[in-house]
Copies of this chain bind each other. A is one copy, B any other.
Amino acid sequence: MDEFELIRRYFSKEAVKRADVALGVGDDAALLTVPSGNELAVTTDSLLPGVHFPADLAADAVGHRALAANLSDLAAMGAEPAWVLLALSLPAADETWLEAFSRGFFALAKQHRVALVGGNIARGPLNITITAQGFVPKGQALTRRGAKPNDLVFVTGHPGDAAAGLKLLQSGAADMQDACVRRFAYPEPRIEAGMALRGLATSCIDISDGLLADLGHILDASGAGATLLTAKLPLSKRLLQLHGMEVAQVLALTGGDDYELLFTAPPERQGEVEQRLKGLACPVACIGSMEAKPGLRCLEASGHGLKLTEPGYKHF
């Protein structure tokens, strides 16, 4: 079977039809229409086995996760996802793997009404590179730049769960129904939350590298500092059960892979933030505040500073 047949069989299903796709998969390029008054948000992310996920992770989870990682970047901009392109290199035309991968991919794509508009399949070491595109009304995008001293720092969901899930998967005895394993294998990009934060959050980023590392990006871009209160971290029951308080906090701060949103908003808008996200059944916690003093500090309940090492995953 050649690559054209593989594309036809697994990737040309019109799972999602969109009126803004004038020409989809099957020509030299797709032809797309951005609704007027909107900017286009575009991101690309690669997932590699042994780096971004265990090499034996179920193929449907790989498909889900690769798409989720990209949609999460759009969520962090407050963008509404529309179109994705998939460049897949894989060592052999393993149809069982491809069927499951495309099933996981399209299930999430359907959920967010995202159309696959192009791609590429080549033979080579497994590499899944996705480019995701979405819309955001002009001037309303959330960026890393706007955090101001006194803004509060918020996080959605339960950071640390994905890192704990990865540890279970790496131990080889993971239950795929375990709450933490599911947070790693099938993360839910916070699309609706990101869109609800337009006009409210002063900065936003998704937690892919680790909460501290990603907050560091906000501090760098915004030219400010922050103090986090570790006692405020919204640790899940399952995370605490698996690891106890101390390790759970470290996983929440440095674990990465959560694809939750980390954002800032002025204190007077805290109620509005909480109400809007509650309406979406999206958990949110205030975990600290921005300061004029540069740098990032973590205070334990005792008031002692936490020593931080390894803020996030580094590739080289």
| Contacting pair A23 B143 (CB below 8 A) | yes
The smallest C-beta distance from A223 to any residue of chain B, in angstroms, reads 14
The smallest C-beta distance from A80 to any residue of chain B, in angstroms, reads 12
Q: Which residues of B contact A31 (CB under 8 A)?
A: 39-41, 77, 136, 141
The smallest C-beta distance from A117 to any residue of chain B, in angstroms, reads 7
A76 vs B46: C-alpha distance in the bound complex, in angstroms?
26
| Contacting pair B42 A83 (CB below 8 A) | yes
| Contacting pair A43 B29 (CB below 8 A) | yes
A122 in complex: contacting residue of B3, B48, B92, B141, CB < 8 Å: B48
Number of chain A residues close to chain B: CB under 8 A: 68
Q: For chain A, residues 112 to 145, give those with C-beta under 8 angstroms from any C-beta of chain B.
A: 117-125, 127, 129, 131-134, 136, 138, 141, 143-145
A133 vs B117: C-alpha distance in the bound complex, in angstroms?
13
- A307 located at the interface, meaning its Cβ lies under 8 Å from any Cβ of chain B in the complex: no
- A173 located at the interface, meaning its Cβ lies under 8 Å from any Cβ of chain B in the complex: no
- A32 located at the interface, meaning its Cβ lies under 8 Å from any Cβ of chain B in the complex: yes
| Contacting pair A42 B32 (CB below 8 A) | yes
A44 in complex: contacting residue of B22, B32, B131, B204, CB < 8 Å: B131
Q: Which residues of B contact A120 (CB under 8 A)?
A: 44-46, 129
A89 vs B316: C-alpha distance in the bound complex, in angstroms?
11
Interface membership of chain A positions 59-80, coded 1 if the CB is closer than 8 angstroms to chain B and 0 otherwise = 0000000000000011011010
| Contacting pair B3 A314 (CB below 8 A) | yes
A32 vs B30: C-alpha distance in the bound complex, in angstroms?
17
- A206 located at the interface, meaning its Cβ lies under 8 Å from any Cβ of chain B in the complex: yes
| Contacting pair B122 A51 (CB below 8 A) | yes
| Contacting pair B30 A221 (CB below 8 A) | no
- A17 located at the interface, meaning its Cβ lies under 8 Å from any Cβ of chain B in the complex: no
| Contacting pair A129 B3 (CB below 8 A) | no
- A sample of 26 cross-chain residue pairs with beta-carbon separation below 8 angstroms, ordered by A number, consists of A3-B315, A26-B221, A27-B143, A27-B144, A28-B205, A28-B206, A29-B77, A29-B79, A29-B132, A31-B39, A31-B141, A33-B39, A34-B34, A42-B83, A42-B85, A42-B118, A42-B131, A42-B133, A44-B120, A46-B120, A46-B124, A48-B89, A48-B124, A87-B87, A87-B129, A127-B127
